[in-house]
Amino acid sequence: MKFTKLNRTIHNWISIFIALPLLLVIISGLFLQLKKDVDWIQPPSKRGESPATPIVSHDELLRAATSVEPTKGMDWSDFERIDYKTDRGMIKFITADGWEVQVDRTNGLVLSVMERRSDLLEKIHDGTFFGDWVKYYIILPSAICLFILWITGIYMFVYPYVKRASNKRNKREKAAAKGV
């Protein structure tokens, strides 16, 4: 089998193999590109009263964060992540089930309560949403196959130009040899 035909066959079969995992990565990646621009994906960061040192105690901040419906009755350990945004004067309380409560760190007022979908999209994007085995045995091999597709695609793109240039050079050499 010629290398060109083998290259095309490899390219075609790998394309079929990685189509679905790659589609998930592409779609989730597109959403993640827009997460700072689309409130549906990730809530916009509100500004607190002042970016100064918090006047409100941690207990008061927790009380404020758990005073709203999606986080009512939660404790410190129930939050997946707590982000201190010093430049914005607020603190984000983020739950494992995708809710985000933003609290002003100066006066303890709740600034925003919204569902946060960006973390879910990130888990879909890297495969961990489906389990760690998907990350290592589906997404990672798909990425390696995508690299192989890139190589074979570049070869299929460049080969005709190289072949054409080689044929022109051979014709010129033959013509020059006949004319001598």
Reduced 3-state DSSP string for the chain? CCHHHHHHHHHHHHHHHHHHHHHHHHHHHHHHHCCCCCCCCCCCCCCCCCCCCCCCCHHHHHHHHCCCHHHCCCCHHHEEEEEEECCCCEEEEEECCCEEEEEECCCCCEEEEEECCHHHHHHHHHCCCCCHHHHHHHHHHHHHHHHHHHHHHHHHHHHHHHHHHHHHHHHHHHHHHHHC
Give the chain's mean pLDDT: 89
Q: What is the pLDDT of residue 180?
A: 60
CA distance 62 to 108: 9
Question: Quick one: tokens of 23?
Answer: 């589609």
pTM: 0.70
Nearest one of 22, 17, 18 to 125, comparing CA atoms: 22
* pLDDT tens per residue, range 74-87: 999 999 999 988 88
Banded model confidence at residue 52, pLDDT cuts 50, 70, 90: low
* Number of Cβ atoms within 10 Å of the Cβ of 56: 17
Higher pLDDT, 55 or 141: 141
108 dihedral zone (left: phi>0; alpha: psi -120 to 50; beta): left
Q: Which residue has the tokens 């758990």?
A: 66
* pLDDT tens per residue, range 109-127: 999 999 989 989 999 999 9
